[in-house]
Chain A
């Protein structure tokens, strides 16, 4: 039997109604998405793109208007589908009357964990997220970063096969972010699938095996960081030694004697290299300037604003 995807969304659509007149607002427009088991999947997009809506539907916090979704092959609406899933919501809120230790015991019991097994896991996690020294402090006295770490710990309490994290780096200082990144990489090594929604694209670029770009409730691109970035190469910086003046397309960076540095559009490179060579010139350097994930997302947003729908 083949392994089911960790997450599969089929034609997922969500329409909200707001105000007295119940004016409809489309949150998701037929989202199709597949997250493979064992990968770190980055889910990115601008504010209001529908990332949190998708997560809320997957976590049964909201129902889809149309379409369906599965978690590890099980219908996401069934409580049973959550037994191997860990979830950290955006800006997590916890019971302030509990201490970090009580909180983890509580969430562990919700997964039917008990006794020595639960106790061991709680202490392991408090250690892992660096909250051991604050385990007896009520959460109301926790800083934002400490709450976030407590949130990560509760998401890991059941040794999940799938970890769904909505903005896990939010509120963390650089040390906290490194800690979370390390945890995510450890989890991946353990075989856990990580579904990571984040605005911090640098972190996603660094961690994710594949990335999905969500804009206006639609998936505007999905692939490895390499694929997404390559497909949107910014420009190519070239250096030539040319005997005579040549009228080349693109932007001249510098011209010192017979040494010319020119910035070219990717589609012009081949033609320009041919012209330089046939004019008796020498190609010294060709450096493609890659876009960052941020550039890719920005480009997709601009395309979307122009009405260019995939």
Chain B
């Protein structure tokens, strides 16, 4: 446990000493604050639009940070050869990977807490204290970030950051269209396309399962079955992706 924490805290420390993270956070905070002004120029329910934009900003920038940091997580260690002095210690490679993952999840937790706190303050001042569904939606977003980070880590363990970014982004976009892919398969008469859409639906993650922002924005309660379903799916799927990533990393030669 001490070893896992050492790697995780080092990853955390490396990320929080990276100025790029602060730039993204600063930008996200700016968008959150500016969203308040939108209510002045919106026809209709301006308050709902503000909540929607602010929630969207949190989702977008959190996913951006998960992607940006996740794709370089292992590759940077290989490129800078810092892995030489880690892999040569009594550390199994899966533990190294898990430590990196835990460190990044720590960064994402802090980032989400900061942006969430800002959202809570802004919305409380302009409207009212957000309902519980908002906080649950952030927990679900955190599960989504966990899965996205696991995918980014998998790609990072065998390809360059550019390739890993491209693949992770593709998984992220397709994962948000999973329900549409399934619907497309149901509506098409072509058997091959039906099979393909089914395979894609079951193989790729369904990120929409974690999306409870709209419910939260509209003040609707999030059904517990939905939350626990997403929790089980997120934890299970992330574990599988991390196991594959560990397997890939453990068979790699470090040149």
Residues of A in contact with B (beta carbons under 8 Å apart)? 56, 59-63, 79-83, 85, 87, 89, 91-95, 97-98, 102, 106-107, 109-112, 114, 151, 154
Can you sample 12 A-B contacts with CB below 8 Å? A56-B253, A79-B91, A89-B84, A89-B88, A92-B85, A97-B13, A97-B14, A102-B13, A110-B91, A111-B90, A112-B3, A114-B2
User: A109 — which chain B residues lie within 8 A by C-beta?
Assistant: 2-3, 5-6
Which 6 interchain pairs have the tightest Cβ spacing?
A109-B6, A59-B88, A93-B81, A62-B253, A89-B84, A87-B88
Kindly identify which residue among B5, B18, B82, B88 contacts A82, using a CB–CB cutoff of 8 Å.
Answer: B88
**A135 → B minimal CB distance (Å):** 17
Task: List residues of chain A with CB within 8 A of the CB of B3.
Answer: 109-110, 112
Cβ of B202 under 8 Å from chain A: no
A56–B254 CB distance below 8 A: yes
| Chain B 71-109: CB-based contact to A (< 8 A → 1; otherwise 0) | 000000000111111111111100000000000000000
Determine if B253 and A61 form an interchain contact, defined as CB atoms under 8 angstroms apart: yes
Q: Judge whether B90 and A110 touch: CB under 8 Å.
A: yes
Tally of contact residues, B, Cβ under 8 A: 27
Least CB distance from B249 to A in Å reads: 12
Interface pair A79/B92, CB less than 8 Å apart: yes
Complexed CA–CA distance, A102 and B2 (Å): 15
Chain A contacts of B7 at CB under 8 A?
Answer: 110
Q: Do B88 and A93 have beta carbons less than 8 Å apart?
A: no
- Which of A79, A85, A107 counts the most B-chain CB atoms under 10 A from its CB? A79
Contact A83 B254 (CB under 8 A): no
Shortest B250–chain A CB gap in Å is 10
Q: Which residues of B contact A93 (CB under 8 A)?
A: 80-82, 84-85
Contact assessment for A106 and B6 in the assembled complex, using a CB-CB cutoff below 8 Å: yes
Given that A97-B13, A106-B10 are contacting pairs, would A89 and B81 also be in contact in the complex, using a CB cutoff of 8 Å? yes
Write the chain A residue with the least CB distance to B17.
A97
